[in-house]
Amino acid sequence: MAINTADYSQATKGIIANLDRGIVLIPIYETLKKPKIMPLGDSITAGKHAVDPNPGAYRIQLWENFSADGLTIDFVGSGSNGPDRLGDKDHEGHPGWTIGQITDLVDSGLLKTYRPDIVLLAIGTNDTGRSLKSMSADLSHLIDRIAEQSPKTQILVSSIAPQDPNGSRKGSKKVGTTRANNAKNFNALIPDLINNKVNQGKKVAFADVGGSLTVEDLVSDGIHPNAEGYNKMGDKWYEALVERDTLINIENVVGTHYRDRLIGNVSSNVFEGGGSKDILTGGGGADTFVYRNPSEGGDTITDFAWNDFFNISAAGFGGGLADGVSLSLTDAITGVFVSDSNPTPIGNSATFLYDTATGLLSFDRDGIGSNSALKLATLNNSPSLSFEQFKIIA
C-alpha cells in the first residue's frame, strides 16, 4: 500500500475507521457489538440530589458522545431518569449509598439480572466521613465481588468528585476538611489498588473521571457536580471507553486481527480487513479489498460495485495462483472463477465461487479436490462480479 495508509495490524482491539469523517474509533469492547453498559454508583450516577438536581447526570453527555460517533450502546439498570435527549435512561445509581451498600446490591444478584458487558463504577462519595483504610478495603472487596460474579465484565473504576470543605451538605452542615481530604486521598490510592487487581488477572481498569473535576465544577452543596461538571465526566467516561485517532490525508487502511468496521470515502480506497469477520464499506470510487490468505475471510462488503476489485495474494492462497495472471472462466492451473446461482468448482486448481443468488464469494484451494470451500466475503445485494475484478498479486 502507499504511504497514505493507516496500519492498525498490530492493534490489540478491533477498530472502526471512517475515512469520510477522518477518524478511527477503538472501543474497549468488540466493535460490532452493542454493549450493555451499567452506570453503577450513588446520586452522582443518578443525578438526583437535594441541591440543583440534574437527572441523567454524566450519562447525558456520554450518550451524546456515543451517538455523535455512530456507536450504539445499551445502558442497563433498575433506575431510569433523564431528559428526552438522553436516548437510554437506564442506570444503577442510588442516592446516598455507600460502597458497602453497592456491594450488598451486587451480592443480591444484580449482575445476573442485567448481565452487563461493562460496569462504570463511581462510588465512595458517601463514605468520606469514614477512615481512608475502610474506604479502600470496601472498594477492594466490591471490585472482587463484581469480578468473581461476572469475570467477563469489564469494570471501569472511577475516581470520585472532589469535595469543597466550604460547601453546605444538605443545605446546612459543612462538608468539612476531613471529608474533602479523604476524597482527595481516596482518589490517590485507587490507581495502585486497580493495578493490584489487574495483576491478579481481574478485568478492571482505572478511569480518572470524578478526579478530573475541581470545586468550581460543583453545586453549592460542595459534593455534587453542576451541569458543566457532569458534561466533563461524560467526556472522561467516553475517553475511557473509546480511543480516538484523527486521520489526515489517509485513503487506505490495514485493519486488525479482530472484528473491524472500515468505511471509505469518495476516493479510491484500499482496505485490508485482516484476520476476522469485518464489515467493509468502500464509500465510492474504485475501491480495492485485499486478502492475503483465506483465513482473512468471512467479511461483509456492503457496497461492492462494478469498478471495485479484489487483490488476492498468490502466495497466501496457493492452489496454482500466479502473480499477475488473471483468473480463467474455464479449467486452468492458474485459477478459475465460477459465477452462478449454485456455483460448483471446475478442475483441480484454485477456484473462486460466486453465488449470484446470495452474494457469497467462496474460495476452494483445489477445486473438485478434497478441500472444502471457505467463505471469503458476502457482497450485499448480490451485485454482478466478473473475473476481471480479481487481481492476483504476489
Q: Of 242, 266, 283, which one is at a domain's C-terminal end?
A: 242
Strands 299-301 and 279-281: parallel
Check if the beta carbon of residue 361 is closer than 8 Å to that of residue 354.
yes
Instruction: Decide if pLDDT at 372 tops 80.
Output: yes
pTM: 0.91
Instruction: Decide if pLDDT at 169 tops 90.
Output: no
Check if the beta carbon of residue 276 is closer than 8 Å to that of residue 14.
yes
Give the pLDDT mean for 204-233. 97
If asked whether residues 237 and 264 sit together in one domain, one would say no
- Distance in angstroms (rounded) separating the CA atoms of residues 236 and 242: 10
DSSP 221-256: TSSSB-HHHHHHHHHHHHHHHEEEEE-SS--EEE--
If asked whether residues 382 and 306 sit together in one domain, one would say yes
Instruction: Decide if pLDDT at 248 tops 70.
Output: yes
Instruction: Tell me the three cell numbers of residue 4.
Output: 497514505
The band of 1, judged by pLDDT with boundaries at 50, 70 and 90, is low
Q: Of 223, 242, 261, which one is at a domain's C-terminal end?
A: 242
Instruction: Decide if pLDDT at 210 tops 70.
Output: yes
Mean of the per-residue pLDDT values of the chain: 96
Give the pLDDT mean for 109-134. 97
Res 275: pLDDT: 82
DSSP for residue 95: T
Instruction: Decide if pLDDT at 174 tops 90.
Output: no
If asked whether residues 163 and 289 sit together in one domain, one would say no
Res 121: pLDDT: 98
Give the pLDDT mean for 179-204. 98
Instruction: Decide if pLDDT at 171 tops 60.
Output: no
- Distance in angstroms (rounded) separating the CA atoms of residues 279 and 377: 10
Res 163: pLDDT: 96
What total number of domains does the chain contain? 2
Instruction: Decide if pLDDT at 32 tops 90.
Output: no
Nearest-10 Cα torsion for 323, 292, 264, 62: -170
Res 99: pLDDT: 98
Does residue 326 fall inside a structural domain?
yes
If asked whether residues 310 and 377 sit together in one domain, one would say yes
Strands 374-379 and 360-364: antiparallel
Does residue 10 fall inside a structural domain?
no
Res 172: pLDDT: 60
Farthest CA pair distance, the chain: 89
- Distance in angstroms (rounded) separating the CA atoms of residues 315 and 54: 61
If asked whether residues 158 and 213 sit together in one domain, one would say yes
If asked whether residues 152 and 35 sit together in one domain, one would say yes
Give the pLDDT mean for 312-316. 98
Contacts of 129 (CB under 8 A, 6+ apart): 178, 179, 182
Res 50: pLDDT: 83
Q: Which domain holds residue 261?
A: 252-393
pLDDT digits (tens, 9 = 90+) for 318-339: 999 999 999 999 999 999 999 9
If asked whether residues 224 and 82 sit together in one domain, one would say yes
If asked whether residues 179 and 298 sit together in one domain, one would say no
The band of 2, judged by pLDDT with boundaries at 50, 70 and 90, is low
Question: Residue 29: CA atoms inside 13 Å, Cβ hemisphere, count?
Answer: 21
If asked whether residues 319 and 184 sit together in one domain, one would say no
- Distance in angstroms (rounded) separating the CA atoms of residues 30 and 300: 16
Helix (H) or strand (E) run with residue 393 in it: strand 390-393
If asked whether residues 83 and 218 sit together in one domain, one would say yes
Give the pLDDT mean for 21-42. 94
Res 170: pLDDT: 64
If asked whether residues 178 and 257 sit together in one domain, one would say no
If asked whether residues 149 and 171 sit together in one domain, one would say yes
Contacts of 124 (CB under 8 A, 6+ apart): 99, 135, 139, 160, 183, 186
- Distance in angstroms (rounded) separating the CA atoms of residues 199 and 221: 38
What CATH number should be reported for the domain holding residue 169?
3.40.50.1110
With 0-12 / 13-18 / 19 or more C-beta atoms within 10 angstroms meaning exposed / middle / buried, residue 41 is buried
CA distance to 1, 139, 178, 239, 290, per residue, from 187 (Å): 46, 11, 14, 18, 48
Instruction: Decide if pLDDT at 26 tops 90.
Output: yes
Least confident of 28-32, 103-107, 270-274, 373-377: 28-32
Q: Of 242, 265, 291, which one is at a domain's C-terminal end?
A: 242
Does residue 4 fall inside a structural domain?
no
SS3 at position 289: strand
